[in-house]
Homo-oligomer: A and B are copies of this chain.
């Protein structure tokens, strides 16, 4: 089991998530540590998070607009270098060719060398959007490296062939091989999560489940809070 040293070679990262608060909850600690080391980190949320409400008394576009603002608030706290929202509907994300193409474009324009995303292969994943986001993020990897795939994407200023060299999968219990102590940055992680006011209206109280989850990961390596990952060998 490796720790943060597994991220030693990361120089530029993109997080492909499904909903506006996924990055913060699933890898907000590691992202904070990467940013602190000077690594530009970009976030890409596939959906608008537009069914993310316990009550039905808000229209979906208004909820989506709120969540885009919360995303920006959290990104400022985390020091992200840029955020993207791919505009799909919450609860209905599919790993189709359109999503693949959108993510390939992000790989090409961010020139990230590292992607963090959901593990699409963990059988315990009950949220279909999580699996779809992770699957599409992996599926975009190969085509994005080929010049004949959607070549118009390479015309955008700053774009070049996909430069990804490593993959970290989160939200998984499958063959974990990286577990990072995030205790020191945990207050910042919580603050970023709490920027998603619509999701955690009672602040830290709404996040007890997260502290419990990160605490369980911490127990694996004998620290208070940790974030766990499965790496994937790519070529």
Q: Which of A26-34, A51-59, A74-82 is near enough to bind chain B?
A: A51-59
Say whether A63 faces chain B, with CB atoms less than 8 Å apart: yes
Decide if the interface of chain A is mainly helix, strand, loop or mixed: loop
- Please measure, in the bound complex, the distance between the C-alpha atom of A97 and the C-alpha atom of B101, giving whole angstroms: 14
Identify 11 new A-B residue pairs, CB closer than 8 A, beyond the known A53-B146, A58-B148.
A50-B61, A53-B148, A61-B65, A92-B143, A124-B233, A126-B138, A126-B234, A128-B143, A129-B142, A152-B156, A157-B157
Say whether A139 faces chain B, with CB atoms less than 8 Å apart: yes
Q: In the complex, what's the smallest C-beta–C-beta distance from A205 to chain B, in angstroms?
A: 17
Let me know if B59 and A126 touch, CB within 8 A: no
B interface footprint on A129-154 (CB within 8 Å = 1, 0 otherwise): 10000000011011100111101101
22 contacts between A and B (CB under 8 A): A48-B61, A50-B61, A56-B154, A58-B148, A60-B87, A60-B148, A61-B62, A62-B68, A90-B146, A91-B142, A91-B149, A92-B97, A94-B96, A121-B123, A123-B232, A124-B233, A126-B138, A126-B142, A128-B139, A128-B142, A155-B156, A155-B157
- Please measure, in the bound complex, the distance between the C-alpha atom of A165 and the C-alpha atom of B232, giving whole angstroms: 32
Say whether A105 faces chain B, with CB atoms less than 8 Å apart: yes
